[in-house]
Structure 1
Amino acid sequence: MPPEDPAGGPRSDAGATRIAGPTPVIRPTPHARVADNRPDPAELYAALDLGTNSCRMLIAQPKGSQLHVVDSFSKSVQLGNGLEQSGRLSRSSMARTIGALKICRRKLETHDVRRMRLVATEACRRASNATEFIDLVHRETELPLEIIQPEEEARLAVVSCAPLVSAKTEQLLVVDIGGGSTELVWIDLTRVPRHDRARAIMRLHAGFKGAAEDPFPRAKVVDWISIPLGVATLKDQFRDVTDDAARFALMSWHFEECLAEFSPYADAEGDADPGFQIVGTSGTVTTVAATHLNLRRYDRNKVDGLRMTTQQIDRVIRGYLAQGPDGRRNDPRIGRDRHALIMSGAAILQALLRVWPTDRLSVADRGLREGLLYAQMSADGVLDDGPF
């Protein structure tokens, strides 16, 4: 099944932000089952991404310049259900999420993970009862969940996609389509030697501006934006439009309007620029890729790094529209957790490709969790110099 979106929620300052202190150590309980051949806990790192739609976690260890995944977890929790109307996280949504987080807690205990970063994104940034929810998570699970701000979320998504950037790329747009928000980061690589471009992007985990004394050539962040519309929130805004095709068109044009202040590089004639690359990371993008490849069973190795033309993407989207809601619901290439959200995600994707001067999209089955892992390992100096 295609992976779920790194989720978020509509942006607001209502949700209180927690500033995390030193990463707590979770010790295994006497009931935790431990395998005799497990990796050394001292080498393990965990990253958890809690968003509007899903709760997703990776446990990994460094292997040279790569990440070796030891365990993973992904579950649709729909934390943001009803948030668009009430501005609050509902009790039922919080209960579902706590249940998923308890499973994550058990996995962390089983592997005796000592280094971790567990973050929540847009849904908690917006919710007026976010502080109450974070306190509940701590009481019920003892997990150190923190709410991160849009810039850090964007930075970490960019870092995770660095290995997919072509050495020929001079202008890069990284797009992370979430459940409640969409992050876009435009990066200028013209001053970075071709052989160092992936590493230069990875160094952005420390900040978009960088340090003045940084001896390495830097990738220049020209602009970035966090749009408070993702697959769930965009769908909710147009839920009253009953016609499937009309709803899709309205969603796409509405999202394009939100890009008006973030398109200084767009070509008025729509000409493709060979030095420009878009990398898309999200469940929407990987689902479109899986449909294009006609994968009845999702295969990350076939999807991650795939380059799709705009014509191929348009063909997939037209197919979704021809299927209608019932057809999409029964399409195994879309998946049970994705069918209700795929058209709002496709509307966002179509709007992006209309505006920016490229005829190809690079598909990334990676995102915030991988960025969190890389940032932790980089800070500890346990990764070889080079892309993971």
Structure 2
Amino acid sequence: MLVAQVVKTPSGTQLRPIDTLRESVRLAAGLTENKLLGNDAYQRGINAIARFGERIRGFDPSRVRAVATNTVRVAKNSAQFVKDAEATLGFPIEVIAGVEEARLIYIGAAHEVPAVQGNRLVVDIGGGSTELIIGKGYEPQLMESLYIGCVSHSLRFFPRGEIDAHSFKEAELAARREIQVIAAAYLKSGWKQVIGSSGTARALADLMAENHFNGQSDSLTMGRINGASGLITRDGLRAMKKHLLKYDNVSQVELHGLRDDRRVVWPGGLAIMIAVFDELGIESMEVTDAALRIGVLYDLLGRSQHEDMRYVTVEQFMQRYAVERDQAQRVGKLAVEFLTQLPPSDSESRADNIALLQWAANLHEIGLSISHNGYHKHSAYIAGNADMPGFSKNDQARLAALLIGHAGKLGKLANNNNFFDWRMLFCLRLAQVLCRGRSDLNLAKVKVSERDGSFIVSLSKEWAHEHPLTEFSLQKEAAEWERIGRSYKLTLK
């Protein structure tokens, strides 16, 4: 269950999660051969719903939406279960169709991941079904719900947790047969971005990060934060499968971060994810926690947003941390002006970098709400660890690096071989020095360039003479860059 607050900003409206309740009930594991929800699973579900009901007691019914998915769709005694569950919860419960579930999953994921030009594919492996959706912006276009899930697949192919190569191959083939039915249409549509949403994808990404199955070290570029890389790769899936098949039973498997509540359903989810990658030719997949629940809330809100969610999030952060907007805009405008004076590199996405640089400028002082001393460290911590809808883990890691580096010593980044936004950091630091007076009056006319790896800052000798503090600060800035072995020349003309 997710409880969220509606936040309105000049850039749009977003939902800010303020409370989450999660219980591993696994209704799908309680389905009998006759498709009846067994007594134990039935009661587990009712008990969990009773606890959830306490949290939202007194809510306006128009502000609550409860949905039931695959297991309740297929259970023959679902009508009685829903009746009892509604009485316990105190609110109506909708049993939604597979395609509707897919639509809501896409809406949820689309509101929480970075915008992309073109189509995106969203894959959500649940307990009893797998949803695959292709959409553009906030609008889903192709939606399918397949009757394969991590719980049902694990029960079918790995009963009592027993594992062997033959059973795993059978699990993969069964999943591939389901996906083959839709593969042609999906491949024809194509996509620019692949997103794995919700529990199974997140669990696999976490295990890959903590056990280095991706074969890549932790880095800012991987967006690794708090042990989760947010990335699933084909090589990582193969390495995970190889590790799994060393054991005879899932209870024996040794892996960092493998939770007990995930252990028994992990093999089925892994087999399905491998099948998805193989049938659709996927090489890597980004992961988000957002899926059905946040999609249900946005649908309840009654409208879709058509702006990049990251702009809304930055705007909301500026409000929350009482950012001085004139200063943020002043620094941002100047930093972008400097970046545009530098020719783009061959691999650079200039539009994306301008956006990131502006966001960094808008948020560079959010740490002042905690303390003036070392405020840049607080700003970076917030940006790296807060829930920031629309931002990927990699976006947040790059943003946090710019914020930690925009002031103070550069040594903290110089030792990180994976930091690559040096030109943007140069522009942000220079703008911050020049805007120290927090006024638009008498701003220097500065030209910047880059030659043979050296940053060159040129300004009027007369202006520098009239502003000795700024000249002194620029000399210190040049010395700081030189200290980490990067040439920085200040030219007065």
Shorter-normalised TM-score: what interval? 0.5 to 0.7
Query: Conserved in 1, the CA contact under 8 Å of 2:197 and 2:288?
Result: yes
Match in the other structure for 1:159: 107
Q: 1:224 to 1:91 in 2, by over 3 A?
A: same
Q: Percent identity?
A: 26
- Residue 345 of structure 1, aligned match among 269, 274, 277: 269
- Residue 193 of structure 2, aligned match among 243, 265, 277: 277
- Residue 236 of structure 1, aligned match among 147, 152, 155: 155
Deviation at 1:316, TM superposition (A): 2.7
SS of 1:285 mapped into structure 2: helix
SS of 2:166 mapped into structure 1: helix
Give structure 2 stretches of 5+ with no counterpart: 212-222, 310-388, 390-493
Q: How many residue pairs end up in the alignment?
A: 294
Give the letter for the 2:64 counterpart: M
SS of 1:358 mapped into structure 2: coil
Does residue 80 (structure 1) correspond to residue 45 (structure 2)? The answer is no
SS of 2:29 mapped into structure 1: coil
Does residue 185 (structure 1) correspond to residue 141 (structure 2)? The answer is no
Match in the other structure for 2:91: 143
Match in the other structure for 1:315: 239
Q: 1:290 to 1:323 in 2, by over 3 A?
A: farther
Match in the other structure for 1:60: 4
In the alignment, the residues of structure 1 paired with residue 299 and residue 151 of structure 2 have an alpha-carbon distance, to the nearest angstrom, of 28
Match in the other structure for 2:259: 335
Query: Conserved in 2, the CA contact under 8 Å of 1:60 and 1:67?
Result: yes
In the alignment, the residues of structure 2 paired with residue 135 and residue 267 of structure 1 have an alpha-carbon distance, to the nearest angstrom, of 41
Does residue 251 (structure 1) correspond to residue 141 (structure 2)? The answer is no
Match in the other structure for 2:293: 369
TM-score (structure 1 length as normaliser): 0.67
Match in the other structure for 1:69: 17
Does residue 290 (structure 1) correspond to residue 206 (structure 2)? The answer is yes
Query: Conserved in 2, the CA contact under 8 Å of 1:329 and 1:340?
Result: no
Query: Conserved in 2, the CA contact under 8 Å of 1:174 and 1:278?
Result: yes
SS of 1:338 mapped into structure 2: helix
Q: 1:259 to 1:377 in 2, by over 3 A?
A: same
SS of 1:81 mapped into structure 2: helix
In the alignment, the residues of structure 2 paired with residue 77 and residue 127 of structure 1 have an alpha-carbon distance, to the nearest angstrom, of 15
- Rg larger for: 2
In the alignment, the residues of structure 2 paired with residue 266 and residue 384 of structure 1 have an alpha-carbon distance, to the nearest angstrom, of 24
Matched ranges for 1:146-225 at <5 A: 146-163=94-111, 167-187=115-135, 189=136, 200-201=137-138, 204=139, 221=141, 223-225=142-144
SS of 1:62 mapped into structure 2: strand
Deviation at 1:96, TM superposition (A): 1.1
In the alignment, the residues of structure 1 paired with residue 206 and residue 273 of structure 2 have an alpha-carbon distance, to the nearest angstrom, of 15
Q: 1:304 to 1:292 in 2, by over 3 A?
A: closer
In the alignment, the residues of structure 2 paired with residue 62 and residue 111 of structure 1 have an alpha-carbon distance, to the nearest angstrom, of 15
Alpha-carbon RMSD:
3.2
- What are the superposed Cα offsets for residues 72-130 of structure 1, whole Å, 9 maximum, x if unpaired? 11111222334251211122211111111111011112777861111110111111111
In the alignment, the residues of structure 2 paired with residue 94 and residue 367 of structure 1 have an alpha-carbon distance, to the nearest angstrom, of 25
Deviation at 1:160, TM superposition (A): 1.4
Deviation at 1:328, TM superposition (A): 5.6
- What are the superposed Cα offsets for residues 265-318 of structure 1, whole Å, 9 maximum, x if unpaired? 6779xxxx8x632211132211111112218xxx99657882333212322332
In the alignment, the residues of structure 2 paired with residue 313 and residue 81 of structure 1 have an alpha-carbon distance, to the nearest angstrom, of 25
In the alignment, the residues of structure 2 paired with residue 225 and residue 163 of structure 1 have an alpha-carbon distance, to the nearest angstrom, of 20
- Residue 95 of structure 1, aligned match among 16, 36, 43: 43
Q: Which structure has more helix as a fraction of its residues?
A: 2
Query: Conserved in 2, the CA contact under 8 Å of 1:277 and 1:360?
Result: no
Match in the other structure for 1:134: 82
Query: Conserved in 1, the CA contact under 8 Å of 2:5 and 2:18?
Result: yes
Match in the other structure for 1:118: 66
